[in-house]
Amino acid sequence: MLRRFLRACPVFFWAAGIAMPVGAELPVEQITTMAALPPASPYRLYFTDVTLPHLPDGRMYIIDGRNLKLEGMISTGSFAQTTLAPDRSEIYAVITYFTKVNRGERHEEINVFDAATLKLKAEIPYPARHALALPTLATMRTSADGRFILVQNATPATSISIVDRRQEKMVAEIQTPGCFGVYPAKSVNRFATLCGDGTMLTVSYDRDGNPTTKKKSARFFDPDDDALFITGAQAGDVYHFISFKGNWQSVNIAQEAAVAEPPWPMVTAQDVKQGWRPGGTQPVALHVESGIAYVTMHPKGREGSHKDPAHEIWAFDVAGKARLSRVKVHEISGVAVSQDKNPRLFAFTIERPSITVFEGGARLKKVLSGPVPGDTPTLLEVQ
């Protein structure tokens, strides 16, 4: 017993002054320049983690979706919201820092990272007001041409800021009382936001980022009876939302005021009896070219279960308003899909983070599944 103890505790006896054998001195490490990431495939993943157990230490993980290997990581501080440039050349993160780590004076900035090397390219000053919320697809986006970065604020009064990437400064802040979420248009300088009264507010702005018009839509959903998930799937100027009870809602934001299409049910009468409802933090993904959407679903749904992880993923033909297939999964909280000719669907879990990869299409086919780094990741984007 004593011999085993002595072998296990060489440091203790060295500190106590008892002579111990000393190994050869280690060579001095040489600091090299930052290496570039491997060339990006259509399946590169950007996984944003707010790290709830240690909030000042948020991260984004860059993962190869072909094998789930970690390619790189960037630090994103406290409650960062993140997004990617349209051409995937840059990564943006609006970050909060406190002078005493978790308290004290609050400072914010938008960090710009080179997506090929993860090197910090710019620090854009930002007022201390961005939404301290779980990262989602609706809290930070860019304009279609990538010039402007759009940030959701909450103090708790809500507003959306327009930041000029070229000039590296905020050029406008638009008050959006009672509304939340950023949904940029594809064809024009315009974005919309969902409002708590069942409408959508659309803001148009000029070539310099100055707002020109603000117009509300007609009321098209009941936020008390059947609210919409804040995460929407974009196809050009149309955003597709799903409701807590399983209805599909499409909204066109090409004009100065948004125009909603009639909703349609994703669930049948039998599904309703079994309590099937959407749930999770990122419950819908759309492959634009094929028009196939994927929704995370759970049974025995109830009031407040809209964040519950999925037991199945359902595939839908959006144009035909029909379900194509369903596949069983385990505790899935969100989905994202690649936009290439051979799409893959990536489904993630938050607790004990993992990603399951499927071949896309009308019927999903599992390719691989495995653990990935993280504590509480809630936002997944694809190259």
**Per-residue pLDDT for 1 more than 80?**
no
Q: What is the 3-state secondary structure (H, E, C) of 103-161?
A: CCCEEEEEEEEECCCCCEEEEEEECCCECCCCCCCCCEEECCCCCEEEEEEECCCEEEE
Could you identify the residue written with the tokens 């008390």? 224
CA distance 129 to 131: 6
CA distance 334 to 350: 9
Mean pLDDT is lowest, of 20-29, 134-143, 166-175, 275-284, for 20-29
Q: Give yes or no for a contact between 124 and 167, defined as CB atoms under 8 angstroms apart.
A: no
Q: What is the pLDDT of residues 119-128, one digit of tens each?
A: 999 999 999 9
What is the overall mean pLDDT for the chain? 93
Which of the four pLDDT bands, split at 50, 70 and 90, describes residue 32? Answer: low
**Per-residue pLDDT for 18 more than 90?**
no
Domain borders along the chain are 38-382
Residue 21, preceding peptide bond in cis (omega within 30° of 0): no
Task: State whether the Cα torsion 275-280-286-287 is positive or negative.
Answer: negative
The pLDDT of residue 30 is 73
The pLDDT of residue 21 is 53
Which of the four pLDDT bands, split at 50, 70 and 90, describes residue 6? Answer: very low
Q: Tell me: domain 38-382, CATH 3.40.50.410, correct?
A: no
Could you identify the residue written with the tokens 């989905």? 335
